[in-house]
Amino acid sequence: MISVFVIFGIISCLLAIAGCIQLAFGTWFLTRFPYQKETLSAVSSWPPVTILKPLCGVEPFLEEALESFCTQDYPDFQILFGIHDTNDPALTIVQRLCDRYPHRHFQIVIDPALHGLNRKISNIINLLPYIQHDFLVISDSDIHVKPDYLRHVVTTLHKPNTGLVTTLYAGLPINNSIVQALAACQINHSFLPGVLLSRHLGRQDCLGATMALQRHILDSIGGFDALLHHVADDAVLGKLVRQQQLDITLAPCLTWTTITESCFQELLQHELRWGRTIYAVAPLGYISSSLQLPLFWASLASYFYTILFYSVQFCSALYGVSTRGLYL
């Protein structure tokens, strides 16, 4: 029994050490990521862009997130807001933004049609007849960006052999609660370093914060219809683009996702939902991501060695009592 605790303790210690090394390398890559440093003069003329924003309901900071796209420092872009229901409260926010920026090319598309399992992709498919440009940017509703975001994304799209552009994202808490801090910590101190480390090891993932590509590439992989029956549409899109022997390139800019969980139960449910999705897409990758939890493995090692210590103490005491009994 004691040898079992020793083995488990050693394994947990090794995993904790491996996790610390992994996080150290990931953090180092993160500090060297060229945020906003790449030149924007590589594109001789800026092509017009269509931004697709599928919406469903209202969440904290939704208006601020959408407005960050409305204020892009870019010469020509169209934003299509997709909504399934006329009673959706997001409609009021979008109408307010349209009134605030009348010179921008915005359009609200209200269409209840569902084309498959994925409601977000169904929403985007409803926007297809209204797309006017060949450069497409799809971004989740809770994403916040800086004014030069589109320029960085389009510049990156012009890189050789690039078929899809995505961006890193950090957590943006809506308050200073411990739940929000923990959620942001998981993204900023575990997820971000892990993404960059995996890219340096040869993996190229598409993140839902930004999915930017040209229309002909989208058509070559079967359009949005190819994503309809998948929950992890970003991962599937990335896989299909990679099958075309094209690269998924990171734009040199950071985006932010709104963190809305207000209690530990919501945080746990969010992490479990995210974990199930990742496991369904890449089970081996999800299992290996457990290395990103060195504190867990260190705690487990401490637990095993604590049990071992008290087991030895108990056995020694029991041996002493039995030995003393022989001499009485």
pLDDT in tens, 217-244: 999 999 999 999 888 899 899 999 999 9
Instruction: Supply the angle between the helices 264-281 and 178-186 in degrees, to the nearest 10.
Output: 20
User: Does residue 280 lie within any of the structural domains?
Assistant: yes
- Range from 16-25, 205-214, 248-257, 309-318 carrying the lowest mean pLDDT: 309-318
Residue in this structure with the two tokens 């947990």, named with its chain if needed: 12
pLDDT, residue 318, reads 55
Number of domains into which the chain is organized: 2
Mean pLDDT of 162-169: 95
Q: Give me 176's structure tokens.
A: 């200073």
In angstroms, the CA 111 to CA 211 distance is 22
Question: Mean pLDDT of all residues in the chain?
Answer: 85
CA distances from 172 to 181, 186, 187 (A): 9, 12, 10
Question: Both 98 and 166 in a single domain?
Answer: yes
Residues 6+ apart with CB under 8 A from 94: 55, 66, 81, 83, 106, 108
Q: Are residues 167 and 87 in the same domain?
A: yes
CB 162 within 8 A of CB 246: yes
Spatial separation of the C-alpha atoms in residues 275 and 229, rounded to whole Å: 19
Q: Is residue 88 part of a domain?
A: yes
Residue with token string 């990103």 = 292
309 with 274, same domain: the answer is no
23 is a domain residue: no
User: In terms of domains, do 205 and 89 share one?
Assistant: yes
Asked whether residue 163 is assigned to any structural domain, the reply reads: yes
232 & 301 share domain = no
Domain co-membership, 243 together with 305: no
Q: Does some domain include residue 28?
A: no
Confidence band of 328 (pLDDT split at 50, 70, 90): very low
How far is 328 from 325, CA to CA, in rounded Å? Answer: 5
User: Are residues 93 and 217 both part of a single domain?
Assistant: yes
Residue 246 in domain = yes
- CATH assignment of the domain containing 285: 3.90.550.10
DSSP 224: G
Predicted confidence (pLDDT) per residue in 25-55, tens digit: 878 877 777 766 555 555 678 999 999 999 9
Of residues 282 and 158, the one with the higher pLDDT is 158
| Residue 11 sits in the same domain as residue 155 | no
- Phi-psi group of 223: left, alpha or beta (phi > 0 → left; psi -120 to 50 → alpha; rest → beta): left
For residues 30 and 45, give the distance between their C-alpha atoms in angstroms, rounded to a whole number.
31
For residue 251, tell me if it sits in a domain.
yes
Residue showing tokens 């449910």: 269
Q: Does residue 230 sit within a domain? A: yes
Instruction: Please tell me what DSSP assigns to residue 289.
Output: G
Q: Is 2 helix (H, G, I), strand (E, B) or coil?
A: helix
Same domain, 309 and 323: yes
pLDDT of residue 199: 86
Do residues 11 and 141 both lie within one domain?
A: no
Question: What pLDDT score does 38 carry?
Answer: 56
pLDDT, mean of residues 293-303: 79
Q: Is the pLDDT of residue 280 over 60?
A: yes
Tokens of 259: 């963190």
Element (H, E) at 109: strand 105-110
| CB-facing half-sphere around the CA of 8: CA atoms within 13 A | 15
Q: Looking at the structure, do residues 304 and 201 belong to the same domain, yes or no?
A: no
Q: Which two tokens stand for residue 204?
A: 């190229």
Tell me: do 161 and 12 sit in the same domain: no
**Distance between CA atoms of residues 28 and 168, nearest Å:** 15
What is the rounded CA–CA span in Å between residue 264 and residue 266? 5
What is the span of the domain harbouring residue 196?
Answer: 33-292
